[in-house]
Structure 1
Amino acid sequence: MTHSRTAATFPPPVMEARRWLDGVTFPADRPLINVSQAAPVEAPHPDMRQAMADAVLNDDDVHLYGPVLGLPALRDELAARTARIYGGTVSGAQASITSGCNQAFAAAIASLCSEGDEVIIPVPWYFNHKMWLDMSGVKTVPLKCESDMMPDPWDVTKLITPRTRAIVLVTPNNPTGVEYPDDLITAFYDIAKARGIALIVDETYRDFHSSTDAPHSLFKRDDWDDTLIHLYSFSKAYRLTGHRVGAMLASPARLAEVEKFLDTVAICPNQVGQHAALWGMQNLDQWLAGERDEILKRRAAITDNMPSLKAKGWSLMGLGGYFAYLQHPFAMSSAELAPVMVREAGVLCLPGTMFYPEDNSAGAKQLRIAFANLDVDGIATLFERLSTLDLPHR
């Protein structure tokens, strides 16, 4: 057991954090505020649920194995939508459906890397990416972010070696929420292309981007699929987290390799979830726009409430998507602070230490707040509780 790949990586952070709730009671007038996980907690739109029920009752195929790379109609719809959002040309042959976006990342790495290869990821990183690289025998090379939580393309050029297989970007970022501008993403793309490595761009939270402009211009490149591997999730947009529907856009040659991984791990994506995602893209654009507007209101509420925390020594390091990334003023590490917050403030969030290598102390000053499941009033309550924390300052 001690020599296994799973033993070499850390426990799932969200599950680890939930253990802090053991033995803690929360009075009725101060219930737990859980901002530890970035996932919708409400069920899908009622009409989508009806469409899913109809598929279960009337379409025998949803109960059988489907194509490994996903339903052709969903692949085509995703390709067409991507082309509309970003410009450029995307075909169904460049699209595949996966059992969630985490599986899309796992499949991408499996198609790129051998034992001892390297992948560059900005820190703070999305911990499941790090966990999968560990379990794949791939070396994670951390790329530090600047004070604005943006990685520097110049810095990445110094980290590329003959074993480097990919650079990974997440935008809007998890955990910081920061939205990378097109010129930054393009700079990383150009470096990856020049060095003959892949650029993996995870846009799980794309539908909640603060701008209505295209998030980037990479799909306008004639040969984008030689370099870009694009990851997406239907879970956040359509509240389908329990149905595990993600996606990858890449070259047909890359997807032929990915197909080997997907067939071995899951055989095919969840059929009912795929039908739901297809129905959602065809019918719920107006509803999704309303979901985005609500997230942007909550994002604005974070900004509006920050002065009360700033007066207590806190600072806002990043904001966007589902996340606010905070620097706390206390003398203790965030790894110690986060369990204390459960007991003292009734707030469950993740410490920055969960998003950094063990030898990087920056995360000790940071906390991730996943605010998407709090309404505007709930965010005000969260900030009130944080501002009343009475602990020794640095």
Structure 2
Amino acid sequence: MRFNPAVARLTAPPVAVVQQWISQYDGSKGALIDLSQAVPGYPAHDDMLAALGSAAADPSALSYGPIEGEDTLRQAYASHCSNLYTTSVDPGEVMITAGCNQAFILAALTVAGAGDDVLMLRPCYFNHSSTLGMAGINVTWADTLAEDSFMPDPEVIRAAITPGTRAIALVSPNNPTGAIYPDDVMQAIMDICVERDIWLILDETYRDCMPSDEPPHHLLNRDGWQDRLILLYSFSKAYAIPGHRLGAAIAGRATIAEMAKVMDNIQVCAPRAAQIATAPMIAHLADWREANRVEMVERGKAFQAAFSQLNGWHIASMGAYFGFARHPFEMTSAEAAEYLMRETGVLTIPGGFFGDGQEGFLRIAFANASVDEINQLAGRLGGSGR
């Protein structure tokens, strides 16, 4: 059999790989604590569930919808982002997608083609690099370092740009490190994009989990942002509905028109029932989202407290949703993660899955777990030495 080599050379889906290790655990340390795939550690609000049920039962939602998304959701999200970023986002600058991963696919294919380069930071979110590879787009790297808490250096990024670079792709709050990039750093990177005539694609999937409720940045306040910036977002995470696959992009109208061409050939439109249900929930569940954000802060504090009791472990970086921790084992990160699953019932993602040079780390999605579960980590991991 012959397969597309761009697909064949990809590894198996990382989350599926680690979930296979669950069967090795005998339950002796208590219930599984799954800190691997980023799945909100709280249920969707009852009003969201009711809205989803009602929308799914509406015959009008069974037909195709607008490629760019339901007008009601585009308007609601534009209004929300206008308030969040203290600017004016037009509904025509919003595109609704089937999850944030799809938003990245649309953005990447819109600004880069086979043989072009997209610059990413390492460690990197693996789905982004694999998406680019499948499309024949070259990934070039700018490394972030543990001693800098994995914060990007704009000058390192500038030096890594090639003549073929079409975009810089960032994730903030970061996956896998949790690092939250400050506005001055992102402004400096945006300056580089303007200087070099390239795009900035910024994935803000974990924006609603940040320790502060202040605007994450002021990129949308810049003149001409529409010609350089694509912001990506996940309703799936914010509203605890990942199975419904709902995301969004903010970009200039001309960019949205190009992304719609890609969308029409991939999916036509994002799932309509989820769009219809979510539109009124953006305003209605504002207090619920804020309470969840505060809960994420408490889980982060519990995570830090638990790891402060562990010898040989070190949290190299954390912020929103994730911690990137240096493990004490003389083995690969995959071997360490599998060992911990088998012996302690704690499931994490190996650092090596996020790029070269990350074998000493594990990604820990502390936001998946309750404070009570996080408090168990010191006892479980503390007894895991070899």
Distance (Å, rounded) in 2 between the aligned partners of 1:318 and 1:119 = 25
Letter in 1 for 2:38: A
Residues 201 and 229, structure 1, Cα contact 8 Å, conserved in 2: yes
Distance (Å, rounded) in 2 between the aligned partners of 1:43 and 1:329 = 34
Partner of 1:270: 271
Deviation at 1:221, TM superposition (A): 0.9
SS of the residue aligned with 1:5? helix
Alignment of 1:48-197 (within 5 A): 48-57=48-57, 59-146=58-145, 147=147, 148-197=149-198
Same amino acid, percent of matched pairs: 40
Distance (Å, rounded) in 1 between the aligned partners of 2:319 and 2:25 = 31
Letter in 1 for 2:47: D
For residues 278-328 of structure 1, what are the alpha-carbon distances to aligned partners after superposition, in whole Å with 9 as ceiling and x for unaligned?
12202101111111111111011112222212xx12111111221111001
SS of the residue aligned with 1:383? helix
Query: Aligned pair 1:47/2:42, yes or no?
Result: no
Runs of 4+ in 1 over 6 A off after TM superposition: none
Residues 24 and 342, structure 2, Cα contact 8 Å, conserved in 1: no
SS of the residue aligned with 2:359? helix
Alignment of 1:9-24 (within 5 A): 9-24=10-25
Letter in 2 for 1:345: T
Pick aligned residue for 1:364 from 349, 359, 363? 359
Distance (Å, rounded) in 1 between the aligned partners of 2:111 and 2:12 = 25
Deviation at 1:55, TM superposition (A): 2.4
Pick aligned residue for 2:369 from 350, 365, 374? 374
Query: Aligned pair 1:30/2:25, yes or no?
Result: no
Structure 1 residues 208 and 23, CA gap change in structure 2 (3 angstroms)? closer
Letter in 2 for 1:104: A
Listed as ranges, the gaps of 5+ residues in structure 1 are none
Partner of 1:281: 282
Letter in 1 for 2:376: T
Letter in 1 for 2:111: L
The count of corresponding residues between Structure 1 and Structure 2 is: 383
Structure 1 residues 305 and 42, CA gap change in structure 2 (3 angstroms)? closer
Deviation at 1:258, TM superposition (A): 0.7
For residues 108-140 of structure 1, what are the alpha-carbon distances to aligned partners after superposition, in whole Å with 9 as ceiling and x for unaligned?
011111111111111110010011011011111
Residues 76 and 280, structure 2, Cα contact 8 Å, conserved in 1: no
Letter in 1 for 2:361: Q
Residues 72 and 276, structure 2, Cα contact 8 Å, conserved in 1: no
Deviation at 1:41, TM superposition (A): 5.4
Deviation at 1:2, TM superposition (A): 4.6
Deviation at 1:64, TM superposition (A): 1.0
Distance (Å, rounded) in 2 between the aligned partners of 1:181 and 1:255 = 27
Distance (Å, rounded) in 2 between the aligned partners of 1:47 and 1:232 = 22
Residues 202 and 231, structure 2, Cα contact 8 Å, conserved in 1: yes
Distance (Å, rounded) in 2 between the aligned partners of 1:340 and 1:51 = 42
Alignment of 1:222-371 (within 5 A): 222-309=223-310, 312-356=311-355, 360=356, 362-371=357-366
SS of the residue aligned with 2:75? helix
TM-score of the superposition, structure 1-length normalised? Answer: 0.94
Letter in 2 for 1:169: L
Deviation at 1:194, TM superposition (A): 1.0
Structure 1 residues 338 and 114, CA gap change in structure 2 (3 angstroms)? same
TM-score of the superposition, structure 2-length normalised? Answer: 0.96
Letter in 2 for 1:291: N
Distance (Å, rounded) in 2 between the aligned partners of 1:41 and 1:292 = 12
